[in-house]
Chains A and B, each alone.
Chain A
Amino acid sequence: EAGVAQSPRYKIIEKRQSVAFWCNPISGHATLYWYQQILGQGPKLLIQFQNNGVVDDSQLPKDRFSAERLKGVDSTLKIQPAKLEDSAVYLCASSLNSGAGIQYFGAGTRLSVL
């Protein structure tokens, strides 16, 4: 069974530029999560989708971050414009259902904002 796919693996941009990350969850998984993990910290949930609806986006900086999950499968996370403090690893995870579901993580995208 294929795992969670993310691309790109690495991205270097300058501040004020825009960037987009892509995630393809495990087939059949209804719930998709985007996390931001700053070096030395635990993953912080940015947004959680159940199919193509948003369950929780309370920690998403909506003035610069946006995410969508069209057709309830793939998802994209965008940052526009990027700030230095956005440098982090962006992790995508999926689970069969929300709630007490095992989350399977992708390899992540390491973003460096210069």
Chain B
Amino acid sequence: QQPVQSPQAVILREGEDAVINCSSSKALYSVHWYRQKHGEAPVFLMILLKGGEQKGHDKISASFNEKKQQSSLYLTASQLSYSGTYFCGTENGNQFYFGTGTSLTVIP
């Protein structure tokens, strides 16, 4: 029931783009995205609700395809501050699961 993320890890140079995917085996009501820096608690990025919407937050955006039970997080023109582990969180009914995580490292 834990959503699977891909890739597991990615290294980028500043200014490059990245896509992180999240896939669930269960029907989803919503998808959350969080970023966690080493030794810190997860921090909310965005929520996507049913309806295939796409949201944006500065140069980070996401899409949600409820039919495919998938979500993707898009990071454009990456900055050093984007480094961290990204988790999707999926909600179906009353149950919430964080994904397997994607470690993203941005280097100068």
A112 to chain B, nearest CB (A): 15
- Interface mask (A73-107 → B, CB under 8 Å = 1, otherwise 0): 00000000000000000010000001110111111
Q: A43-B42, A99-B29, A105-B42 are in contact. List 20 more A-B contacts (CB 8 A).
A: A35-B98, A41-B101, A42-B99, A42-B101, A43-B98, A44-B98, A45-B96, A45-B97, A45-B98, A48-B94, A91-B41, A91-B42, A98-B94, A99-B91, A100-B49, A103-B32, A103-B34, A103-B42, A106-B41, A108-B41
Residues of A within 8 A of B (CB): 33, 35, 41-45, 48, 55-56, 58, 91, 98-100, 102-108
- The secondary structure that dominates the B interface is strand
B63 within 8 Å of A by Cβ? no
| Known A42-B2, A91-B41; contact A102-B98, beta-carbon cutoff 8 A | no
Residues of B within 8 A of A (CB): 2, 29-30, 32, 34, 40-44, 47, 49, 87, 89, 91, 94-101
Enumerate chain A residues within 8 angstroms of B98, measured Cβ to Cβ.
35, 42-45
Q: Whole-angstrom distance between the alpha carbons of A56 and B40 in the complex?
A: 25
Enumerate chain A residues within 8 angstroms of B29, measured Cβ to Cβ.
99-100
- The secondary structure that dominates the A interface is loop
